[in-house]
Structure 1
Amino acid sequence: MHLPNKKLLLGAAISLATLQAQAVPFMPTDARAMGMGGTGVSSAEVASTVQFNPALLSLTRDDDHFGLKIPQISIVVADDDGFIDEVEDFDEESELDNSGLSNVDLLSNVLDESTGPLGLEKLNQALTDLETAVLPAQYEAAETKLEESVNYLDTRLFSKNPNIDPELVVYSEAVANDLDDLNNKALRMNFGANMALAIPSKKFSLALSAGGQGTFSGRVLVSSDDSDILRRYPDATSKYLTAVANLQSTLKDFNDGVGGVSAQDVADAEEAVSDFAYGGPNRPADEGDTIIFENGDLAEGADDGSLNSQVEMVGVAIADLGLTASRVFNIKGHDIAFGVTPKLQKVTVFDYLYDLDGEDENGNEVEFDGDTITENSEEYTEINVDLGAAYQFGAEKQFQAGLVVKNLLGKEFESPRYVESNGTAGTIVEVSPQVRAGISHKTSWTKVAFDLDLMENDPVAFEDPTQYASIGAELNVWRTLQLRAGYRANLAGSDQDVVTAGLGISPLAVHLDIGLMANASDPEKEAGIALEFGVEF
């Protein structure tokens, strides 16, 4: 038996996964917003307004006449379930001994020694020699070889001390547990890139924007068949060696002329070895659910390392080209800004499922490359629209409220695997309407903002749904240095709150911003960074 290649297991860690009817999150690419907890529906400025609320483009400062953001980039990696830690366990030093080796290495060593020239190879040759022996000396030599191999395997696979578990049992269970711990744990990555050109005005504002947002998730689906083979292999081998030991003892008694031991007894013992089958605890191979031995040999999958576990990957990338128009309308004495962004969207859905043993249906090694992405992706081109409204109030109009509906025209996009399976497997990605409201307060030096998703958003794949409540603050020193901080809570998930911080440098009209975010309880669960460069005057 061969263990799953460690590189395959570790390679699965960087592979990305799905199920049906998923949605795209509301996570604009904006360094200033990331530093302020993700707020922006009432607080975004100039060229950033197109991502959060097109109406804000008409409510910028009186001295804002031009804005350019190129580029804006961001990346967020989330590991809520500890997927990376579980994968690293395969390569970490085992706690079972002081050798410095991992559980996989320890089990591999025991199996290599047990199946090598002194173990099963010698045992199988001894059985062949017994079948072909003609002279008494040949029988004696075969018996000696069989006894040596059984004794060797007995010391490697089974402990003479009933209070100490044998190495094969201990290491098999440890690796099986590591494999089970990896099951169904998801890893998620979001990335974005954007650029925008904006010309704000109270009368009529315009902006042109182009960008893309991608979200990928992945998981390993560990088959119970794979972990069961690891756990049952010691039991199967023990029963097989018991049958071999019985043959050895029967042959010795027969050759020594022990009364009551006949040639038929020897034949029966030989048949028990040649027909030996194991399909699980107290189950014959043809009825069991963990087939390891069949007709005296290791069954397919138990001897060639074939795995039933799979890696599942799903992703959606949306490229937008939008034209934003905004202006202020006086409604019953109140100046209310409205904005609209019609946009051309290119939606790419990626959906891939492959076996962990790294082989395709033709037995060829699976290689993840550009062709893999192309063959398992489907592209769609659609029209969509964002709508926004904003209102300033207070004695000095220091308060500002905003409301936005993004992707008003909800649509569904089917993955290639969903189409090929006639809807029995694969992914449907929904670009659904997203509604967010916000309120902010500003002074010449400060701004504080609060945003709230008014509806729950489905996940892209295996993570929890999202409904964000965010708060952020900015200290603007002479409009040259900006210090930012924020907090974002997911009202639809547990232990997914993040803290954020940001820094802006804006000498003259040039702006350089960086935003950082991390899970509030454990930065390893989620972390992100955003960078942007722009010009505003």
Structure 2
Amino acid sequence: MFNASWMNACKEWTPCWDHQPMANNAMKLQSPLLLPLLLCATSAVAQPFATLDARSMAMGDTGVASAQPGTAALFNPALLSYNSDGETIHIILPNLGVSVFADPDALDAYNEIEDEAYIDNIDIAIQGMENPDNQADFIRNKEQFTNNSRSLSSNLNELSEQPFRINAAGFASVAIPTKALGLAVFANVNATIETTPIVTDCDTELLNDYVDFFESVQTEAELYIAASTNPTAGCNDTPIAVQSGASVIITDPSDDLTSEVIVAGVTISELGIAIAHDFRLFGKDVSLGITPKLQTITSYYATPSVQQLDDDNYDLADELEDSENDDSDVNLDIGLATSFLSDSLTVGLTIKNIIANQYETSVSPRTGRAVTFDVDTQARLGVAWDAPAGLTFAADLDLTKNKPFFLGEDTQFLGVGVEWDVASMIRLRGGLRSNLADADDQAITAGLGFNIIAVYFDLGAQFSENNAGGALQVGVQF
């Protein structure tokens, strides 16, 4: 069953407008139009080559040439037979990681809405226009209303079509590295959830028409007179204000909002076995590894409207659960590894998901639409140098530009990292990761590892302007 507790907050916001007679605080703004879409926007990273392995994360997301045998099935199966003496067994139970992404411009817009208190200012201005002390007070409150409303509308449009994502992963394996035949059995689950607010042009027009209307009136009496002309707003000619006896009723514009939220998720579960063998090629030791695996791809898709999110009877979690769609496929990873400089320099190449597949979500009952997404082939090159003094330097480069499942930027990572093994007890790590496809996506990484006899613990973290993540791994080596 889909666990959607993270979405419960989506249903907690109140209607954006409260239409009552003017004497009873008509058109009182209780919450930002469409801002609740962002308060419940939790989502995930696109489909990068990112394992969320704790050691890799700490070292700039490297691992194709530097991964330990326990995680070789994630990065490069060839490492299971490369430079292995066959005297150890590696067990990972488990590796858990999470990463959160938000577009910098969207974050700026959201922070400006929060910092400038547009919503509170609009609410205060409406109350001031309803009960002004004098004409100057009415004008001051009217200008406060229109200025804050325009700024709010502008920032909401900055948020439109900007995805918020969360990516979570879990991994467990048992690996027996040997030159003759390295083996690993593993299970891997990677889940991506993305929430994207879509503010329509009609809603922008609707809000702007409301602002234009209030800019056209200069006094409370003019507001009453203007209401007699039956002013309308937006694509659907929503009535703005109507006279009701000696008062004015402001029509709730949220009834005609057409904006929506796209909520989509993909979980890829893998069960597989990695096999590697070391052989001689042109006088050099070369390791070849393959990873046949069974993949289960589960997708979720919903497109609730603003009205649905405001309806107490609507349950987004139920709609996502009903939209669950499962597909199964067999796929294959392949990897190579060799060494130079007296085996101190390792070069690795890996290709994941040799068979590229396209899938389709279930159909949204509201829009009648489904969306397709791809699980594409990915290729990455890695280099690692085992330097003196317990230092290991690593670098990885994506050879493919990896597209997101749904909306968002492509990723093509270049990562560099270093590890310092202090007395075979504590390992300090750091690195940098750059997205060559998006200049705004640059991350600093750090972490550490330590062991207690045969049990080891690894912690990793990454930080950037638009991304944050962390990972923990517990393993046994004997």
TM-score, normalising length: structure 2: 0.83
Question: Within the alignment, does 1:435 sit opposite 2:383 as a pair?
Answer: no
**Shift in Å, 1:364:** 5.3
Question: Of the candidates 193, 209, 230, which is equivalent to residue 277 of structure 1?
Answer: 230
1:381 is matched with 328
- Distance in 2 between the 1:7 and 1:247 partners? 25
Decide whether aligned partners of structure 1 residues 301 and 407 sit closer, same or farther in structure 2, where only a CA change above 3 A counts: farther
- Structure number with greater Rg is 1
- Distance in 1 between the 2:366 and 2:183 partners? 43
Decide whether aligned partners of structure 1 residues 17 and 194 sit closer, same or farther in structure 2, where only a CA change above 3 A counts: closer
The 8 Å contact of residues 37 and 197 in structure 2, kept in 1 or not, is answered as no
1:188 is matched with 165
**Shift in Å, 1:17:** 7.1
Decide whether aligned partners of structure 1 residues 400 and 105 sit closer, same or farther in structure 2, where only a CA change above 3 A counts: same
Question: Of the candidates 19, 40, 52, which is equivalent to residue 75 of structure 2?
Answer: 52
Question: Within the alignment, does 1:215 sit opposite 2:215 as a pair?
Answer: no
1:391 is matched with 338
1:309 is matched with 259
Amino acid at match of 1:198: A
- Distance in 1 between the 2:227 and 2:452 partners? 84
- Distance in 2 between the 1:530 and 1:509 partners? 20
Decide whether aligned partners of structure 1 residues 304 and 490 sit closer, same or farther in structure 2, where only a CA change above 3 A counts: closer
2:23 is matched with none
The 8 Å contact of residues 36 and 485 in structure 1, kept in 2 or not, is answered as yes
Is the partner of 1:158 in helix, strand or coil?
Answer: helix
- Distance in 1 between the 2:477 and 2:181 partners? 18
The alignment yields a C-alpha RMSD, in angstroms, of 3.3
1:33 is matched with 56
1:414 is matched with 360
Question: Within the alignment, does 1:495 sit opposite 2:446 as a pair?
Answer: no
The 8 Å contact of residues 303 and 367 in structure 2, kept in 1 or not, is answered as no
- Distance in 2 between the 1:61 and 1:217 partners? 41
1:80 is matched with 103
- Where structure 2 has 5 or more consecutive residues not aligned to the other structure, the ranges are 1-26
TM-score, normalising length: structure 1: 0.74
- Distance in 2 between the 1:488 and 1:166 partners? 47
- Distance in 1 between the 2:397 and 2:222 partners? 72
Amino acid at match of 1:414: E
Alignment of 1:205-284 (within 5 A): 205-237=182-214, 274=228, 276-279=229-232
2:314 is matched with 366
The 8 Å contact of residues 9 and 356 in structure 1, kept in 2 or not, is answered as no
**Shift in Å, 1:24:** 2.7
Deviation string, structure 1 residues 454-505 (Cα, Å, up to 9, x no partner): 1111123332101111111111123221111111111111121111112010
1:14 is matched with 40
- Distance in 2 between the 1:240 and 1:54 partners? 72
1:355 is matched with 305
**Shift in Å, 1:183:** 2.3
Is the partner of 1:176 in helix, strand or coil?
Answer: helix
Deviation string, structure 1 residues 78-122 (Cα, Å, up to 9, x no partner): 123243453354444x4xxxxxxx32123224435656xx7xxxx
Deviation string, structure 1 residues 253-272 (Cα, Å, up to 9, x no partner): xxxxxxxxxxxxxxxxxxx9
The 8 Å contact of residues 303 and 364 in structure 2, kept in 1 or not, is answered as no
- Distance in 1 between the 2:340 and 2:223 partners? 93
**Shift in Å, 1:419:** 10
- Where structure 1 has 5 or more consecutive residues not aligned to the other structure, the ranges are 95-101, 119-150, 249-271
**Shift in Å, 1:343:** 0.7
Amino acid at match of 1:401: V
- Distance in 2 between the 1:366 and 1:497 partners? 39
Decide whether aligned partners of structure 1 residues 173 and 419 sit closer, same or farther in structure 2, where only a CA change above 3 A counts: closer
**Shift in Å, 1:347:** 0.6
Question: Of the candidates 272, 277, 299, which is equivalent to residue 322 of structure 1?
Answer: 272
Decide whether aligned partners of structure 1 residues 353 and 74 sit closer, same or farther in structure 2, where only a CA change above 3 A counts: same
Amino acid at match of 2:263: M
Q: How many residues align?
A: 448
Decide whether aligned partners of structure 1 residues 307 and 64 sit closer, same or farther in structure 2, where only a CA change above 3 A counts: farther
Question: Of the candidates 468, 492, 503, which is equivalent to residue 413 of structure 2?
Answer: 468
- Distance in 1 between the 2:429 and 2:309 partners? 49
Structure number having the greater strand percentage: 2
